[in-house]
Amino acid sequence: MIFRVSILVVASLAAFAVSPLNTKQRLKKQHSMLSGKGCSSTQETEELGGEKFGDDISEEDMQNEEGTEVVNTKNLNPNTEIEHSQNPINEFESRRLTLERKLLELHSLKEKLSCIAYLQKDLTGKTAEIGKLNFTIAALKAEIKDLQEIIRQGNMEVKQLDMAKQLIEELQRKNGNGSQIKGQIILLEEQLSGFTAIETSTGDALVKNRLEDIKNIELKVIKKRRRNKELELEKREIFVKLYAAHAKLSALSDMTQNKTIGKICELRQANGDLANKVNILQKSRFDMVEELVYQRWLNVCLRAEIKEYQTSSRKTSEKEVQKASDQKTSKIITQYPDTNSTWSYTSSTDSEEIDSSTIDSSSSSQRSISKNSSTCWRSMDDGSSVVSSPNKSSTG
């Protein structure tokens, strides 16, 4: 299909290339008609054009063109004719450009299709490779699991071999003890043979006693063998119990580690909470210290104001008292000149009472200030002790 479309496009381009040549020839004929040579000149040009392009244009077309050209020369101007002739040229050129663009688009589409096909082939190949790789990965994982199981079994077998070696060593030790017992039995048999040789001389009583002793020894040997077998069985049970105990110890160690980790996390959280509390207490302590400093400053200011007030009040009171006493004394002196001495004594006592009252008021104010300062210091000490106690607890 693409090949056919390309052939059609090439044919159309060839037709458009031929059409402007025909239009140019027609324009030349029209210009020759307008030059005023007459009908004879037009006929000659037409005959020349017919001789040159007789293969492409038929006789009927020539006749139609002659009629149309004569009419056009009579009725139309040369400018309008040129415009009419340029319009189809522009249309053909626009069509040619569109066809060229379409050809370029077709070529680009061909290239894209070829690229898409190539990429699809690559994708199919790569997907197949990916599937193979996934299959190989799954197989390798299965092999790894099998190998891990084989390794575990090998480790268990190694442990069992170690246990068997230990049992063999113990059995060999026991066999050594049994060989010693066998040697003792052989010695006893030799002694028995010697006793049988001496039977004739010693008598039946001694022989019977020796035989009883031998039987007792044989019974003891049998008991020892039984005891050895029992000990072997007990040792096997002990080994099994030890193996189970080791497994339990490993599990318990894991549990203890988890518990310790949990305790560590809890202690960390508790330490964080305590640190936050300490920070809060420190902030509160700083606030208390600031308040105490402010109170001390206020106390100092109040003391200074009280002193100033006391000094000013004393001065004013003393002045007023002196003025009042002077006035009274002057009046009394004028009225009762004999009572001068008694009045001076009363005035002195009054002034002393006033001074004592002012001193008492100042002392009471100072005592109240000292009490306030002592309460502040006590509260400060209490706050510091409260702050120090959680600090000690956190450090402990």
Measure the CA–CA gap between 338 and 360, rounded to whole angstroms.
Answer: 35
Q: What radius of gyration, in Å, describes the C-alpha atoms of the chain? A: 70
pLDDT tens-digit profile, the chain (396 residues): 555 556 656 666 665 555 555 555 555 554 454 444 444 444 444 444 444 434 444 444 554 454 444 444 444 455 676 777 778 788 888 888 888 888 888 888 888 898 888 998 888 888 998 989 999 899 889 888 888 888 888 888 888 888 878 888 888 787 777 677 777 777 777 777 766 666 556 556 676 777 787 788 888 888 888 888 888 888 888 888 888 878 877 777 777 777 778 778 888 888 888 888 888 888 888 888 888 888 888 888 888 888 888 787 777 776 676 677 666 666 666 665 444 444 444 444 444 444 444 444 444 444 544 444 444 444 444 444 433 444 444 344
Q: How far is C-alpha 307 from the chain's CA centre? A: 69
* pLDDT in the model for residue 35: 47
* pLDDT in the model for residue 236: 84
Stated as kind and residue range, the H or E segment containing 58 is none
Measure the CA–CA gap between 31 and 29, rounded to whole angstroms.
Answer: 5
* pLDDT in the model for residue 332: 64
Residue-level length of the chain:
396
* pLDDT in the model for residue 282: 80
Measure the CA–CA gap between 30 and 26, rounded to whole angstroms.
Answer: 6
Asked whether the whole model's pTM tops 0.75, one would answer no
* pLDDT in the model for residue 52: 41
Tokens, residue 205: 């009583």
Question: Following DSSP, what letter does each residue of 219-273 receive, concatenated?
Answer: HHHHHHHHHHHHHHHHHHHHHHHHHHHHHHHHHHHHHHHHHHHHHHHHHHHHHHH
In the block, residue with structure tokens 């790894």: 144
Tokens, residue 314: 């004393």
Determine the 3-state secondary structure of 43 from DSSP: helix
Ramachandran bin of 38, using left for φ above 0, alpha for ψ from -120 to 50, beta for the remaining angles: left
* pLDDT in the model for residue 15: 59
Q: Identify whether the C-beta of residue 188 lies closer than 8 Å to the C-beta of residue 249.
A: no
How many CB atoms sit inside 10 A of residue 173's CB?
Answer: 10
How many CB atoms sit inside 10 A of residue 29's CB?
Answer: 19
Q: State the alpha helices, DSSP H only, in the chain.
A: 2-34, 39-52, 59-75, 78-202, 204-335, 340-395
